């Protein structure tokens, strides 16, 4: 426990004053009285720190003490909790986290990358000093899904947790879907509108979603964080025709992070999936996020809300501060680090499911027979096939939906076709959410 | 604080052994090891009590001490927490709650009726002795929405909270919708299947949903519980034709509990509403529940899951027990009782919105003119109207959707038509969710 005196203000040092940091200040200014009623005490920004003091952030920072050297914060007795909004898996954020937690200073962060890579070490530090390490804002923005898993669903053995964890990807995919446009075109617009970064790789290649999935999996299953074993595919290779074919078959395409735990091990994957239109995830549009958890007593829980942006992320950061102010917190990953189990990664090839395969092929006799033979020899059973020619500039598209089967058979199909001069470009494989 | 020693088992007395009570026992038996890892200690059923000792409940009760007189539990030092699953606003449940809370015995309940009527008194007792009063299972079954509002959205000023809070009503309405059947027919089937009580009034007249809404409103707004000012209309008067007309207009009918807080006061209503098909509530089918909260920073949060039944409700009860075991709890209604504000009820007549009116009328000239005149004179502006004759046994149906306007104008329309012999039966009014 820390030196929090009931009813004394909770004095916060805020490190990092980007969009979210500004949002936290605005939120505390706007809702301060209500928050004090709920938290039982005032939550007060006592000190701020960021790289550039002179940048205009559109919020009045004059009431707050500016701290040039954030490494002094951990030792300050007039600071009750440090909020880290710098980002980055390593570097200054990690240094600050380690300093604070080792010194027994409660720590709130939105830093999913740091947690995915160093969460266990940080949780162990927090455990040793008995203080809070909170990170509701790290996953799914304003949606209280960390709390939902850590506490709300805590009575359940959870077999699967999955969701739409990256708003940029979801915005791009749903805009492609609604407007029939191509990936590059929509990405460019998203960058111009500020919905995607100038360097978008972190989002569109699925890395951000993989960080979040790593955290969710640990909370859901009571397993150690294992970012290294998340299989990641982003959305760069989804083309307009995939979305159209999927729609014709009764599916929408979403970037889905899926984690499953069972006797075969821990399975973690981020990839674009075909989601049946009657599944709630198919209706998660634009920059919304959503998370589904399936528990053995509660059944399917579904959480949806705004997954990014100033307001929602600030809402989650301040929710953590309220928990700290109320003295309602415990182990960061729902149990002591030593109680988390080390689960072996599952063999994806043994997973049973249906898949979508799309080939771009030469428009000439024999190609269909070649692909059909490869699927047959690999043991893949075909449920439906669409071939469309004519309007493709180069070659024709062939889309296949398989019956349920082992995923390794899909890989074998592709291996059998590798190097064939019938194929134009790399085939696209997406699995179907059941 | 109570006499909870870290790492000692949490000893639970379970009072009431119906469906949910049996579920709690089964859950603790099934997931006991995992729960102990998460809670940091074993959660142990130490004593049980119910009206009838000899009833077969399909679960082995022999390991547990049977207590004939539950009024002895509050004083027992070998019980750490009492779980009340008897139900009923008053009577034995309330007596037990008062005894336990006054004696400083942590108390977990699923009893929405008791909380809606006596929640403030009970919270004040818990506050005085500094112990937990927890009730996640009282609203929306397994969905952690009490936690979502009390903690997850705590940084927000919430303007509106609403949702589908009664699974029986939702099952009936969605079955009517999917199968085109009438209310009485579906209700009878639901009773035969055990989805509706033999005496279904509590559910289908909206009282159960009103209890839950009262609790949500207090948590969302920081206002005192005010069950007496919930306007309640159930689903008995929804006919198959309403559902068909609503569908033709792009809506589905759901029993929605809505609470709003603002300068005009606190508005609370449970009634069947027309929900646009692109709203998430329109996709909440069968016995699912869902809750939406709209906060000034987080935006719209949406929670969905199973709202009743043994497994989901037990999941919520045990989540509360885990919070108690972890020592992570505080004020029952998110702030001290004295900090809750007493908000005046809002004048529903001043609310602006669109409405659906359905009349059953005589099939004769002049009726349309009479209704049109009444709406005009009451200041109601009509957006669309459908009249269907022919296949109605007696009279014809006329369905009107209004433009946005004050609700008092709708009341005035009905007043103007009251007593008219053109009308067959009472007109049906449903408001439209915006």
Chain B hits for A287, CB-CB cut-off 8 Å, are: none
CATH number, domain containing residue A273: 3.30.360.10
Assigned token pair, A84:
């880290």
Asked if residue A253 belongs to a domain, the reply is yes
Which parts of A339-421 are beta strand (E)? 352-353, 355-361, 382-388, 396-402, 405-406
**What's the structural domain count of chain B?**
3
Q: Quick check: is B5 in a domain?
A: no
Phi-psi region of B329 (alpha: psi -120 to 50; beta: other; left: phi over 0): beta
Q: Which of B387, B361, B381, B377 is nearest to B416 (CA)?
A: B377
Nearest in space to A430 (alpha carbons), one of A139, A234, A278: A234
- The answer to whether residue B188 is catalytic is no
CATH code for position B400: 3.30.70.260
Per-residue pLDDT, A394 = 74
Phi, psi of A257 (to 5 degrees): -95, 125
Query: Do residue A202 and residue A297 come from a single domain?
Result: yes
Closest approach of B43 to chain A, Cα-based (Å): 11
Which among A321, A322, A335 has CB closest to B38? A335
Q: Is there a contact between B384 and B358 (Cβ–Cβ < 8 Å)?
A: no
Token couple for B318: 């045990």
pLDDT tens by residue, A216-245: 999 999 999 999 999 999 999 999 999 999
Q: How high does pLDDT run on average in chain B?
A: 95
Cα(B61)–Cα(B52) distance, integer angstroms: 13
Helices (H) and strands (E) in chain B, counts: 12, 18
Interface contact flag, A335 B155, Cβ < 8 Å: no
* Cα radius of gyration (chain A): 24
Domain end residue (candidates: A339, A356, A385)? A339
Cβ(A348)–Cβ(A406) below 8 Å: no
Phi, psi of A53 (to 5 degrees): -70, -25
Same domain membership, residue B262 and residue B165:
yes
* Residue among A31, A299, A300 minimizing CB distance to B155: A31
**DSSP-based three-state secondary structure for A109:** strand
Q: Quote the minimal CA–CA distance from B299 to chain A in Å.
A: 7
pLDDT tops 50 at residue A4:
no
Q: Is B136 annotated as a binding residue?
A: no
Domain assignment of residue A149, yes or no: no
Which pLDDT score, from 0 to 100, does residue B2 have? 43
- For A325-360, the pLDDT digits (tens) are 999 999 999 999 999 999 999 999 999 999 999 999
Q: Which of B148, B157, B303 sits opposite A34 (nearest CB)?
A: B157
**Shared domain check, A318 and A294:** no
Q: A5 lies in a domain?
A: no
Q: Which of B31, B297, B304 faces A314 most closely, judged by CB atoms?
A: B297
Contact B299 A283 (CB under 8 A): no
Under the banding of pLDDT at 50, 70 and 90, the label for residue B57 is confident
Residue B197 assigned as binding residue: yes
| B159 is a domain residue | yes
Which residue out of B105, B134, B147, B212 is catalytically annotated?
Answer: B212
Chain A neighbors of B316, CB-CB under 8 A:
298
Which helix or strand (DSSP H or E) is residue B45 part of? Answer: strand B43-49
In A194-249, where does DSSP find H-type helix? Answer: 201-204, 207-221, 240-248
Same domain, B403 and B272: no
Contact B256, B272 (CB under 8 A): yes
Distance (Å) of CA B366 to CA B373, B390, B417, B421: 10, 17, 13, 12
CB atoms within 10 A of CB A370: 15
Contacts of B298 in chain A (CB under 8 A): 142, 305-306, 311-312, 315-316
B329 and B384 co-located in one domain: no
Task: Report residue A368 as tokens.
Answer: 């269909």
Contacts of A305 in chain B (CB under 8 A): 298-302
A68, A191: one domain: no
Instruction: Tell me if B84 is assigned to a ligand binding site.
Output: no
What average pLDDT does this structure show over A59-67?
93
CATH of the domain at B77: 3.40.50.720
Same domain, B95 and B65: yes
Asked if A74 and A110 sit in the same domain, the reply is: yes
User: Is B3 a domain residue?
Assistant: no
User: Do residue A299 and residue A318 come from a single domain?
Assistant: no
Is residue B370, in this structure, part of any structural domain at all? yes
Instruction: Give, rounded to a whole angstrom, the gap between the first and last alpha carbons of chain A.
Output: 45
Q: Are residues A421 and A332 in the same domain?
A: no
| Same-domain status, A78 and A160 | no
Model confidence over B371-415: pLDDT tens digits? 999 999 999 999 999 887 655 567 899 999 999 999 999 999 999
Residues B161 and B285 in one domain: yes
Report if residue A4 sits inside a domain.
Answer: no
Strand, coil or helix: what is A381?
coil
What residues of chain A lie within 8 A of the CB of B328, using their CB? 151, 328-330
What is the distance in angstroms between the Cα of A37 and the nearest Cα belonging to chain B?
6
- State how far residue B45 is from chain A, nearest Cα, in angstroms: 15
**Domain of B287, in residue numbers:** 148-305
ipTM of the predicted assembly exceeds 0.90? yes
């Amino acid at each position: 426990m820390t030196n929090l005196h009931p009813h004394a203000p909770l004095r916060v040092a805020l490190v990092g004053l980007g969009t979210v940091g500004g949002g936290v200040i605005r939120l505390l200014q706007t809702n301060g009285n209500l928050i004090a009623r709920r938290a039982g005490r005032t939550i007060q920004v006592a000190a701020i720190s960021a790289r550039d003091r002179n940048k205009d952030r559109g919020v009045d920072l004059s009431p707050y003490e500016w701290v040039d050297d954030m490494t002094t914060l951990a030792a300050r007795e007039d600071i009750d909790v440090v909020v880290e909004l710098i980002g980055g898996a390593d570097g200054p954020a990690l240094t600050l986290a380690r300093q604070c937690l080792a010194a027994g200073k409660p720590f709130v962060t939105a830093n999913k990358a740091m947690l995915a890579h160093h969460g266990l070490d940080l949780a162990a530090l927090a455990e040793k000093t008995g203080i809070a390490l909170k990170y509701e804002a790290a996953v799914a923005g304003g949606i209280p899904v960390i709390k939902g898993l850590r506490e709300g669903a805590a009575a359940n053995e959870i077999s699967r947790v999955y969701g739409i964890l990256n708003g940029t990807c979801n915005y791009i995919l749903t805009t492609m879907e609604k407007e029939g446009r191509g990936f590059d075109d929509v990405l460019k617009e998203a960058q111009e509108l500020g919905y995607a970064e100038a360097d978008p790789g972190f989002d569109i290649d699925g890395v951000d979603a993989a960080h979040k999935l790593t955290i969710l999996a640990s909370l859901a299953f009571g397993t150690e964080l294992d970012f290294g074993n998340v299989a990641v595919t982003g959305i760069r290779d989804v083309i307009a025709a995939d979305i159209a074919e999927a729609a014709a078959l009764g599916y929408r395409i979403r970037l889905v992070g899926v984690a499953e735990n069972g006797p075969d091990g821990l399975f973690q994957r981020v990839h674009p999936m075909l989601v049946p239109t009657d599944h709630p995830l198919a209706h998660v549009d634009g920059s919304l996020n959503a998370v589904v958890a399936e528990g053995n007593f509660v059944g399917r829980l579904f959480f949806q809300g705004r997954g990014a942006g100033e307001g929602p992320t600030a809402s989650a950061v301040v929710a953590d501060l309220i928990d700290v102010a109320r003295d309602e917190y415990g182990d960061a990953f729902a149990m002591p680090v030593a109680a988390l189990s080390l689960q072996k990664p599952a063999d994806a090839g043994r997973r049973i499911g249906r898949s979508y395969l799309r080939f771009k092929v030469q428009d000439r006799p024999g190609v269909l027979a070649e692909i059909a033979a490869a699927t047959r020899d690999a043991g893949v059973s075909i449920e439906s096939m669409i071939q469309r020619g004519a309007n493709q500039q180069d070659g024709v598209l062939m889309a296949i939906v398989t019956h349920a089967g082992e995923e390794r058979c899909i890989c074998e199909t592709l291996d059998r076709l590798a190097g064939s001069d019938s194929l134009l470009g790399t085939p696209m494989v997406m699995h179907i959410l059941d």
